[in-house]
Amino acid sequence: MKKILIVFSVILLVSCTGKKIPEIGQYTIDQFYKNVNIGFSAFSPDETKLLVSSNETGIYNVFEISISDGSKKQVTNSTTESFFAVDYVHGTNQILYSADKGGNENDHIYLLSEDGTTVDLTPGDEVKASFNGFSKDKKIMYFSSNRRDPQYFDLYKMNVGEWKEELIWENREGLQYSGSTRDRNIIALAKPITTSENKLFLYERLTGKTIEVSEPDKPGSYSASGFSNDNASFYYTTDIGKEFTYLMKYDIATGGREVLYETDWDVSGVWFSENEKYKIIGVNEDARIKLKIIDQSTGEDVVYPEIPGANINNLAISESEKYLLLSLGTSKTPGDLHLFEFGGTEMKKLTSNLNPEIKPADLVEAEVVRYPSFDVLEIPAIYYKPLTATKKNKVPALVMVHGGPGGQAMTYYNPIIQFLVNHGYAVLDVNNRGSSGYGKTFYKMDDRNHGDKDLKDCIWGKKWLQGLEYIDTAKIGIIGGSYGGFMTMAAMTSTPDEFKVGVNLFGVTNWLRTLKSIPPYWASFRDALYTEMGDPFTADSVRLYNISPVFHGQNVKNPVMVLQGANDPRVLQIESDEMVEAIRANGVPVEYVIFPDEGHGFVKKENEIKGYSQILTFLDKYLKGTGEEL
């Protein structure tokens, strides 16, 4: 990788009030990707180390971090595929990690021994496997796999040391595995009806008995959130009778129900420490996750030192219930691991993942804003204003659209956003109708209406930007990935005069093909997806054709950029190929970047640097206007 040098652009613009704008450091894409992403997986059995995944080598590998001094040791040395840490194998010097092939999402579980030898525990070209934890005595590993039937995931176990799989639950009815008791004798199963409605069951393996937890006369959302250690209680969230999800406790023996926690936002779920000393409740509060940690021995909330403006990316409590580990970041800094010892007063920072060449003061704090859409519906969004933007120094802007359908823009650190804002682009990350986190009514508003009212929400976001005195109103583009990529291309084909450019990252452009070719292991979710989007094998195909941008490429007037992974199992490369071809046939500038070793999203730093630097070049040329005139 080439040597990375810091580049400072000294800006001394004078605003209309006569005040000077502070000097702002402007950074290269290489510098942004010298930041490190770390994902926590497990405490070591003696609780002296942390098992993590880190991309500091340019690709994800497994590392260990010392709790005493924060020192880091690299465990795997992959240069081609990302390796993600899973867990320690207790009583041995072995580690489990997972990996797929080039982003194809067929993850396998691997056993790494101390001498460096690796064994694929879940082999098979089309097999996808997920780790489901160890038994309490750590002698049995559980995992789910679609080995028997590519469409459905069964539950297996392996005895540690023998590593021979044994099928313990066969998923003949195409349900979704949603957790189990520690002994795996009671399994939670979900049956999606729509993307906002499902049924929830408990299956007892020893008796073959199935209990429906969802109430048949009260349709809605039911989501499993775990079991008590004694197998007596089951926890779940639901939105029955309420706008937001709340936490319920279900007595397995009697069928009794109790509301445990509710608030004016979606309750994400509940988690317990090893011996249930601590209870953790998560709440999705206005684009960030907040925690309520309760010491169940006293009933009191656990107070720990909070970092101003920090978002919680991940958390864990050690098996001894001595340590609380938090991954905390801000919209200006990537997540760092912090360790808190219960009963203490200090938070110990174990990592520093922001490139030291970058000053946080040069980056932009995310701001939650709201604006009225075409029908006066209030649309929430995350806004990033360049520090250099003034009435005299007007800046171009981008409307960004998240993935989904049903995703959510949040206030977490996003390197591509900070990179673009640092280079003078305002970004409005829209939570259009149909986004999660703002109640079930808002979530359902785009059902069978995709590319219409949700797109208008984005267009009215553009109008909101145009109302800001420091925005160049003639230079506003749209950008998005996956479902957001579809929205980008829907904008460029159905409302071709609205946005000056479009940047489509692996976006759906042919709903007929996408819905027919979804991966086989999505079978349990297929009907729910068809209910929301439309069934391509029925008369719905007419509407799906009409909203598919690839069939309307002749309408595109303004420049487009497309980025695509060749191994994407969700949005096949042929969709982007055909979309690009349709635009080129219309004589409109289009730039196309294909990564042969990526899937649905890019994880290799080399590819991210290449792709995102080209996005800036494209925007500078066709939106900001520093190159070819529009």
d(CA 27, CA 24): 10
Q: How many domains does the chain have?
A: 2
Sign of torsion over alpha carbons 113, 118, 124, 129? positive
HSE-CB at 306 with a 13 A cutoff on CA atoms is 11
- What per-residue confidence (pLDDT) applies to 532? 83
- Is the Cβ–Cβ distance between 387 and 470 less than 8 Å? no
User: Is residue 556 domain-resident?
Assistant: yes
Using the predicted structure, report yes or no on whether residue 4 has a pLDDT greater than 50: no
Stretch (H or E) spanning 609:
helix 605-619
What residues make up the domain containing 147?
121-174
Using the predicted structure, report yes or no on whether residue 529 has a pLDDT greater than 90: no
d(CA 250, CA 233): 6
Using the predicted structure, report yes or no on whether residue 540 has a pLDDT greater than 50: yes
Q: What is the mean pLDDT of residues 322-333?
A: 94
User: Is residue 506 domain-resident?
Assistant: yes
- What per-residue confidence (pLDDT) applies to 430? 98
Using the predicted structure, report yes or no on whether residue 7 has a pLDDT greater than 80: no
The model's pLDDT over 172-205, given as tens digits with 9 standing for 90+, comes to: 888 999 999 999 999 999 999 988 899 999 999 9
- Percentage of the chain surpassing pLDDT 70? 96
User: Is residue 385 domain-resident?
Assistant: yes
pTM score, whole prediction: 0.92
CA dihedral 337, 338, 339, 342 (to 10 degrees): -140
The lowest-confidence range among 397-406, 423-432, 462-471 is: 397-406
Q: Which of 131, 149, 174 is the last residue of a domain?
A: 174
The lowest-confidence range among 67-71, 207-211, 560-564, 625-629 is: 625-629
Using the predicted structure, report yes or no on whether residue 431 has a pLDDT greater than 90: yes
Task: Enumerate the β-bridge partners of residue 190.
Answer: 176, 200
User: Is residue 319 domain-resident?
Assistant: no
- Is the Cβ–Cβ distance between 41 and 51 less than 8 Å? yes
The lowest-confidence range among 3-17, 101-115, 484-498 is: 3-17
Output the domain CATH number for residue 615: 3.40.50.1820
Q: Give the DSSP per-residue string, 259-320.
A: EEE--SSEEEEEEE-TTSSEEEEEEE-SSSEEEEEEETTTTEEPP-PPPTT-EEEEEEE-TT
Using the predicted structure, report yes or no on whether residue 539 has a pLDDT greater than 80: yes
d(CA 164, CA 173): 25
User: Is residue 375 domain-resident?
Assistant: yes
Q: What is the mean pLDDT of residues 203-220?
A: 94
- What per-residue confidence (pLDDT) applies to 113? 96
CA dihedral 403, 404, 405, 410 (to 10 degrees): -70
Using the predicted structure, report yes or no on whether residue 2 has a pLDDT greater than 70: no
**Mean of per-residue pLDDT scores for the chain:** 92
Q: What is the mean pLDDT of residues 22-49?
A: 93
Using the predicted structure, report yes or no on whether residue 334 has a pLDDT greater than 60: yes
Question: Predicted confidence band at 525 (pLDDT cuts at 50, 70, 90)?
Answer: confident
Q: Which of 174, 193, 211 is the last residue of a domain?
A: 174
Question: Predicted confidence band at 450 (pLDDT cuts at 50, 70, 90)?
Answer: confident
- What per-residue confidence (pLDDT) applies to 22? 57
Task: Enumerate the β-bridge partners of residue 381.
Answer: 369, 430
User: Is residue 332 domain-resident?
Assistant: no
Please tell me whether the peptide bond between 589 and the residue prior to it is cis, using omega within 30 degrees of 0.
no
Q: Which of 134, 150, 174 is the last residue of a domain?
A: 174
- What per-residue confidence (pLDDT) applies to 319? 96
Q: Give the DSSP per-residue string, 191-228.
A: EEEETTEEEEEEEETTTTEEEE-S-TTS-S-EEEEEE-
Using the predicted structure, report yes or no on whether residue 6 has a pLDDT greater than 90: no
User: Is residue 567 domain-resident?
Assistant: yes
Using the predicted structure, report yes or no on whether residue 235 has a pLDDT greater than 70: yes
User: Is residue 476 domain-resident?
Assistant: yes
Using the predicted structure, report yes or no on whether residue 593 has a pLDDT greater than 60: yes
